[in-house]
Structure formats: C-alpha cells, structure tokens
C-alpha cells in the first residue's frame, strides 16, 4: 500500500490537522505538534523533519493528529482533514505539475477534502510576535499559523508561550551545527528559490554583522532547470557562493543540466 494511502487510513479516522503548502509545512506542523503536546493534548504527529526536542519526526497519542500533508503527486488527496493549515502556494515540483495553474488546482482539490464543519487557516498580514528561537519573516508566519490553530483548540496564550521557549527547532531547518575556525555552521533544506531567499533573509536578521558564505546543492534536475534564473538571483544575496552539482534523487536519475555526468555520484 502506498505511504499516503496507508497514513490516510489512520488519519481519516482521527481529528486530523493537515499542514500543507509550498513552504513552511515542516516547521508549522512541528511547532503545532509540540505546542499540543506541551498543552497536554497528547497528539499523534507525523512531520517531515526531526524535532530536536523529540529526536524523532513522529509520536503516537490519542489526541489530534498533526500531519504534514505533501502536495507532490497530489498525495494529500488521500487525506480528509478536520482542519487544513495552508502556509501558501508558490509553484514547485515541475517534474509532476507542468504549469503553475496545474499546481494550484491540486490545492483547490485538496480544500474540497475538508470534512463538513472543518476550518481552514491561512497566513495573516501581521503575524504574532511571540518569542521563539526561530528567525525570519517566514518563520514568524509559520509560528502565527501554529498559534492560530492552538488557540482555536482552546490552548491559552500563556501555555503557547511556555512551549515556544522550550522548542529547540527542527533538524535541517536553520539548524546550527557548530563552529569551525570562526565560522558558524548552519544546515538548511532550502531547495527552491523562495526558500533560499527566506533562509538568507533569516540569516541576515540573526547575524547582521557577519558575512554569509553559502554552499548550495541543487535538488532535482527539473527544478534546477525550471528555476535556474531564480536560483541565480536569490543566491546573489550571499557574500560567497559555492555550488555543488545537481542531486537528482531517486525520482530523477538523469537530466539536461549539471556539470558532471549524470551517472556519477
């Protein structure tokens, strides 16, 4: 049974909270799941990245089910949520969605999967300014979405604030790895132009007096080819740029872009 269908068998029987969108799914779902646990709601959670507090990307409980709902190949159409958290829509996955319009249509179809009486949460113009260990405008929007849902579920602002102070972050999401020869080493999974732009903006905010050197590895041939000019534009915000060859991944073993033969690691 495919992964998304198997997850859907469990999720659809629960009070399901599906976090979807082009950007911020992992951070938003991780924040929300962590807040719910700290508030005593004992959630089930399945997130696309490892919560550093839990040393895991998942947990099992008898409360709400917080799920990162992936739009790739329209896998999220296997889910029937009680709440949809939509972080935003910005064209991605050109290997499956041929046009921006086809990408948007997938989200329109997903909205129709909402259970009767369900609710959809979207980003607001002026997100909440609660204290956390996260930096950048995009993370303030992610945080605000998690707070909106938590408050809707009856969790107090005081409980939310306490949880945020304990939230250590997510692996490969602006994760501080350590220091080396005066450099601060940070690992981030920014894999399309808007994500790269957000990561660099957050770094400028967090380290206003430091120079930023970026070692960037493009992910998938189709995405790199489709957004090549956009990648070039956003990466110029770094002080130094080091480019690795394209990482094709299991779903794309060959491509028309890159500097080394595609059959080499």
pLDDT in tens, 107-135: 999 999 999 999 999 999 887 878 898 99
What tokens were used for 109? Answer: 């179809």
Q: pTM for the complete prediction?
A: 0.90
Could you give the CA distance from residue 202 to residue 135 in angstroms, rounded to a whole number?
Answer: 5
Are 175 and 186 within 8 A, CB to CB? yes
User: What's the domain range around 69?
Assistant: 3-166
Query: Is the pLDDT assigned to residue 261 strictly greater than 60?
Result: no
Which of 148, 166, 184 terminates a domain? The answer is 166
- Same domain flag for 103 and 27: yes
Q: How many CA atoms lie within 13 A of 162 on its CB side?
A: 10
Mean residue pLDDT across the chain: 93
Total structural domains in the chain? 2
Same domain, 98 and 162: yes
CATH number at residue 112: 3.40.1190.10
Indicate whether 49 belongs to any domain: yes
Q: Domain holding 227: CATH number? A: 3.90.190.20
Q: What pLDDT sits at residue 264? A: 40
- Where are the alpha helices (H) located in the chain, listed in sequence order? 3-11, 25-38, 100-111, 137-152, 157-166, 193-206, 221-226, 228-235
Last residue of a domain, one of 100, 135, 166: 166
pLDDT of res. 118: 98
First to last CA, the chain: 30
Residues 160 and 183 placed together within one structural domain of the fold: no
pLDDT attached to residue 260: 54
> If pLDDT is split at 50, 70 and 90, which confidence band does 178 have?
very high
185 — pLDDT class (breaks 50, 70, 90): very high
Domain identity same for 144 and 71: yes
Task: Retrieve residue 79's tokens.
Answer: 């889910």
Mean pLDDT, residues 195-212: 95
């Amino acid at each position: 049974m495919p992964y998304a269908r198997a997850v859907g068998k469990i999720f659809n029987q629960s009070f399901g909270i599906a976090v979807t969108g082009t950007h911020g799914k992992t951070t938003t779902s991780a924040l929300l799941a962590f807040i719910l646990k700290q508030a005593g709601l004992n959630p089930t959670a399945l997130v696309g990245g490892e919560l550093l507090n839990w040393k895991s990307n998942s947990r099992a409980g008898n409360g709400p089910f917080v799920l990162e709902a992936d739009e790739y190949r329209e896998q999220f159409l296997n889910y029937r949520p009680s709440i949809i958290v939509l972080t935003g829509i910005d064209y991605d996955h050109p290997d499956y969605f041929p046009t921006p319009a086809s990408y948007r249509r997938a989200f329109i179809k997903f909205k129709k999967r909402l259970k009767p009486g369900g609710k959809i949460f979207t980003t607001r113009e002026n997100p909440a300014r609660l204290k956390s260990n996260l930096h950048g405008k995009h993370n303030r929007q992610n945080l605000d979405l998690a707070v909106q849902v938590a408050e809707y579920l009856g969790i107090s602002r005081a409980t939310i604030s306490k949880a945020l102070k304990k939230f250590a972050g997510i692996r490969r999401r602006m994760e501080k790895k350590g220091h080396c020869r005066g450099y601060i080493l940070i690992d981030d999974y920014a894999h399309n132009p808007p994500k790269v732009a957000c990561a660099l903006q957050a770094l400028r905010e967090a380290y206003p007096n430091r120079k930023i050197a970026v070692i960037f590895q493009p992910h998938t041939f189709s995405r790199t080819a489709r957004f090549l000019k956009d990648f070039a534009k956003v990466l110029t915000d770094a002080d130094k740029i080091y480019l690795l060859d394209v990482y094709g991944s299991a779903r794309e073993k060959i491509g028309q872009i890159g500097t080394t033969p595609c059959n080499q690691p």
